Amino acid sequence: MESRPSTPDRCRPRSIFAKDSGSPSPGGHRALVELLQKSGFKIETTVARLDRIDDEFFKRGGRSLALLEPSAEHVEEHEQELRALFGDERKANIILVLPKRHYAQVEAEDGESVVLQESLGSLEECRKLLELAKLDGELEFHRATEAATLTDAEGNLPAKLGGKHPFPQYFVLKNQPKAKPRNRFEPEPPPRWQVLIKANAGNPVALRNNERNLVVLAEPDLISNRFLGEGEAAALAKIVMNASGTRLISIDEALHGLSTQASL
């Protein structure tokens, strides 16, 4: 049988439940983009190869690359690009948001209604991303077994996210090097890991690595259309985005499957 070339990704039907930056679906990020734009951020999208991004992404205050809830399917497809991105010695400005929920359309009994089926992704999806980002040696990844309130590092701006699975994802810092003793005339160096968002048990939910200019968020509900309006979630989401150190943010769409792999 004669084989036919596969349809390039850009020609495939775009799911209305995609998690990309323009999607109005529950797991999409259109509301976040609009919030940031109203707050003075300049937001763009990109499908450029992750191992060939512009030099501006490597300059402090230049531009940040936002990887929002990469899907396991496309992480596998772009694994070598991800390894090269996080392995680059210049250290790109990156906001990495780990995945959590999956939405799919299922047939309704009346044959007309749109019914969403929600499921949780595996913990291994997130742990794989931490390994690709070379963070698995410093961060443990977990999912809580009970609901929790999220706040900023000082315990302000509470947001309790709901839904069918209201159990936040969080990190545990491990193998942290002890700070070298300094005399009283030297200023204290910034911590390697700065807590941005935490759960009420004290577990960090969003962290900034000050040495790499890297921001990592364990709980993606915080920035999704579905939960952005609950409590102070919008204010917490802005803290995460502000931590990138720039108001120029490019949201990658390749890891949502919106790029093409067509070649000669």
Q: Are 59 and 27 in contact (CB under 8 A)?
A: no
Which of 102, 66, 81 is CA-nearest to residue 217?
Answer: 66
> Coil, strand, or helix at residue 178?
coil
DSSP code, position 85: H
CA distance 152 to 236: 7
Q: Are 236 and 222 in contact (CB under 8 A)?
A: yes
The pTM of this model reads 0.86
Q: What's the pLDDT tens digit per position in 28-46?
A: 999 999 999 999 999 999 9
Span 188-219, pLDDT tens digits: 777 899 999 999 889 999 999 988 899 999 99
pLDDT tier for residue 14 given thresholds of 50, 70 and 90: very low
Q: Is 217 in contact with 71 (CB distance < 8 Å)?
A: no
CA proximity to 101, closest of 36, 166, 193: 166
Query: In DSSP terms, which residues pair with 101 in a beta bridge?
Result: 120
Which CA distances in Å does 141 have to 29, 47, 237?
23, 28, 20
DSSP 30: H
